[in-house]
Structure 1
Amino acid sequence: MRGVAVTLGAIALVAVGAGWLALGPSAVDAPRTTAPAAATTAVAPLSPAPRPPATAAAPDALLTSDLIALFDQVLAEAQADSKATLMARAPALLAKHLREDWRVRALGLLERYVDMQEALRTLQPPAANDPAFLRRSLEAREAVRRQYFAPEEIEGLFGDQIRQDQFMAEKMELLSNPGLTPEQRAAALAQSEQAWLSPAQREVRKDAVAHLDVMRQTEALQARGASPQERFAARSEAYGYEVARGLATLDQETQEWNARLDRYASAPESEQARLRETLFNESERLRLSGALAMRSAAAPKPAR
């Protein structure tokens, strides 16, 4: 389906359990630094604590989450079957992304990162919907980190991830607390989000929540057979004119795509080869089989 530029997106904020062969986002030549913002929380924190005040000493430019993403990229590119092979290939791979005066230090950090990831693999992963177990898992992960990295290295390399984990742990605790009213729970969640997440992370979370809200509203509109005019009015009231207009365009493109799929699927096999070329462009033809398979899987099964 061809996309429409709207202001909504989705991302998962949980950062727990990762094998040392995981592939991270593309790294940049010089890892970015983000000035931490002030925050406090009443919950006993893991290390690091909520974001340090902006008046703290300038952070080390090498020690950022971007370096961890680069390490994950190097691990994937090295295709090594042992640590010795990895460390032999790593200098050349790091040299493609890091300036020269950072490479020796980064190589040492990479070796400790690999050792830490191997140790983390021995931990039991967090259980779903068990806040107490998640807390214990996060504490165990933090204890492993301390074995391989100094406090300032943990803050720079893993601080954002740890704060996201803390937020998710608090969120699970609040959602499972039967003693809170909906209003109290919402206020506590907002306070926890403010304490643990950076402005950029809060913006990502807001977009993710908005994306889910749009999906739920669209499903409800479809279920009651709302007209295009009714959809536009409901969306415009909830999300504004521009988003409603983008979603209306997406609805139209989806309807047009489904119509072409219907025509192709219902045509005789002798006609499908010609329709494949005339109804779909090159990129659409690449996903045609998958789209038809999904439609088939979603179709209601006849009752026996």
Structure 2
Amino acid sequence: MRGVALTIGAVALVAAGTGWLALGPGAVDAPQAAAPRATAAVAVPGVPQPAQSTAAAPDALLTSDLITLFDQVLAEAQADSKATLMARAPALLAQRLREDWRVRALGLLERYVDMQEVLRTLQPPAPGDPAFLRRSLEAREAVRRQFFAPEEIEGLFGDQIRQDRFMAEKMELLSNPDLTPEQRAAALAQSEQAWLSPAQREVRKEAVAHLDVMRQTEALQARGASPQERFAARSEAYGYEVARGLATLDQETQEWNARLDRYASAPEAERAQLRETLFNENERLRLSGALAMRSAAAPKPAR
């Protein structure tokens, strides 16, 4: 194994109320007419229930993939008005959806655009305020109910809503001073099991694992652990293969920092040559940013 990527899978907290003209592009595949998959039942209009609930014969068009497709259409249309968008949308949808879905999808797209305009007027949730986040989520759900039927909300937005509700519960549990660490961990596990789908739980598991690796690496660096001590600690925690990959990553990082040190300490007249000899083409693209980060992280002299 060459190395282990220490990336953190970001989980969206609440989708901000972006305007329909500001949505970014992204390539997506059109929803396929595959065998129907189970989705959560809707017991309260517009409010998806925990992920364990199931309903029979879901609508194959109504999935989160359709919302991703809508966002791509909005970006590609480059329309300066809703009328222009709706004139261009049929051709764009025809490139991605089978024929018997297109008319219905066009109607859903128009309502999606109208909904986004209303969502733009809502105040975004304040960071670190669970109560305000709850109110924001409720306001967003109320807006969805203005434009979509309960089964449409479940199919198009159900996974996102359950993710949001899990994050709201997590914030409440983390800010509750009456819980012991054991009670908080148990409640978080229960909330995760209740609201997140198996796929969402797997993404979260990987993200948490990456965070654990990063925290352990920072702790090992802080106490000046030797390469042998690092390998032993990582092998015990994550297994031999992961430890070997992290050791390789440590070596590559050390070599990269040594080259940065040599370049940064060289006279200005020599840097042009060192830039060509010490770094390859891709590394040269990172060089300015890496030096800026080092400068920002360097201790500031006392006044």
TM-score for the superposition, normalised by structure 2: 0.90
Which position in structure 2 is the counterpart of 1:35?
Answer: 37
Is contact 2:32-2:60 (8 Å) kept? yes
- CA–CA distance in 2 between the matches of 1:123 and 1:9? 29
Is contact 1:6-1:243 (8 Å) kept? no
Is contact 1:9-1:208 (8 Å) kept? yes
Q: Which amino acid aligns with 2:209?
A: A
Does 2:271 align with 1:269? Answer: no
Judging changes above 3 Å, is the alpha-carbon distance between structure 1 residues 277 and 6 closer, same or farther for their aligned structure 2 residues? closer
- CA–CA distance in 1 between the matches of 2:68 and 2:195? 21
Secondary structure, counterpart of 1:50 in structure 2: coil
Gaps of 5+ in 2: none
Deviant stretches of 4+, over 3 Å: 5-9, 31-39
Which position in structure 2 is the counterpart of 1:153?
Answer: 152
Judging changes above 3 Å, is the alpha-carbon distance between structure 1 residues 220 and 77 closer, same or farther for their aligned structure 2 residues? same
Shift of 1:51: 2.7
- CA–CA distance in 2 between the matches of 1:38 and 1:186? 25
Mean Cα deviation higher: 10-19 or 59-68? 10-19
- CA–CA distance in 1 between the matches of 2:289 and 2:4? 24
- CA–CA distance in 1 between the matches of 2:153 and 2:33? 16
Gaps of 5+ in 1: none
Is contact 2:64-2:157 (8 Å) kept? yes
Judging changes above 3 Å, is the alpha-carbon distance between structure 1 residues 202 and 114 closer, same or farther for their aligned structure 2 residues? same
Does 2:114 align with 1:122? Answer: no
Q: Which amino acid aligns with 1:50?
A: P
Which position in structure 1 is the counterpart of 2:171?
Answer: 172
What is the 5 A alignment of 1:190-205? 190-205=189-204
Shift of 1:9: 4.3
Q: RMSD of the alignment, in Å?
A: 2.3
Q: Which amino acid aligns with 1:27?
A: V
Secondary structure, counterpart of 1:287 in structure 2: helix
Which position in structure 1 is the counterpart of 2:256?
Answer: 257
Secondary structure, counterpart of 1:4 in structure 2: coil
Mean Cα deviation higher: 240-249 or 267-276? 267-276
- CA–CA distance in 2 between the matches of 1:294 and 1:52? 45
1:186-238 superposed Cα distances (whole Å, 9 cap, x missing partner): 11111110010011100111111111111111111111111111111111212
Which position in structure 2 is the counterpart of 1:184?
Answer: 183
Q: Which amino acid aligns with 1:47?
A: V
- CA–CA distance in 1 between the matches of 2:33 and 2:218? 39
- CA–CA distance in 2 between the matches of 1:181 and 1:52? 27
Is contact 1:15-1:165 (8 Å) kept? yes
Q: How many residues align?
A: 297
- CA–CA distance in 2 between the matches of 1:52 and 1:233? 40
Secondary structure, counterpart of 1:98 in structure 2: coil
1:113-154 superposed Cα distances (whole Å, 9 cap, x missing partner): 010011111111112222221111111110100010011110
TM-score for the superposition, normalised by structure 1: 0.90
Seq. identity, %: 81
